[in-house]
Each structure stands twice: as C-alpha cells, then as structure tokens.
A = this chain, B = another copy of it.
Amino acid sequence: MNIEIIGIIAAILTTSAYVPQAYKIWKTKKAESVSLSMYLVMCLGVSLWLVYGIYYRSPSLIAANTITLVISLIILYFKIKSKKN
C-alpha cells in the first residue's frame, strides 16, 4: 500500500471528525460539555496551519485546514450561541 494513501485517508479522517460534533450540537441544541477554549485555540492553530500551507503552496494543507477551520468556526458559533441562551 502506498504511504501517500495512508496520508490522504489520515487527512480525510482528521478533517471530517469534526462533522459529527457540529451535527450533534446543531441537532440537540446543547453544547454544555463542549470546551469553548478548545475551539478558540483550534481555530487559531488551524488558521496558522493555513498561513503555513499558503506559504508553501501546498494544496493538501490548504484544503484540509480550510475545511477544518470552517467546521471549527461553526462549532464555535454554536457553542457561543448556546451559552447566551
């Protein structure tokens, strides 16, 4: 098995892992036990990975981190919204 296939599967899994979390908060309207700090730090970190990817013009870094940033921002939005309610 080509090692790059392992890398691509790894990237797809670690990127799509956030989808069930976003879906769960959206469906249940509850985010009490989800950590606000985690998603604040994650959004900042993923943004820096994106800068790094853009610098190296790496399509995989740019694609994976753009998707992760969007889903993390959605989770962050749900979390902040649920705190206000």
A→B interface (CB under 8 Å): 3, 6-7, 9-21, 23-25, 28, 30-35, 37-39, 41-42, 44-46, 48-49, 51-52, 55-56
What CA separation (Å) do A53 and B15 show in the bound complex? 17
Q: A7-B52, A44-B13, A48-B13 are in contact. Are A32 and B30 (CB under 8 A)?
A: yes
Out of B20, B28, B33, B51, name the residue touching A38 (CB < 8 Å): B20
Q: Are A45 and B6 in contact (CB under 8 A)?
A: no
Chain B residues in 8 Å Cβ range of A10: 45-46, 48-49, 51-52
What CA separation (Å) do A78 and B25 show in the bound complex? 19
What CA separation (Å) do A17 and B40 show in the bound complex? 8
Q: Are B35 and A33 in contact (CB under 8 A)?
A: no
CB distance from A68 to the nearest CB of B (A): 9
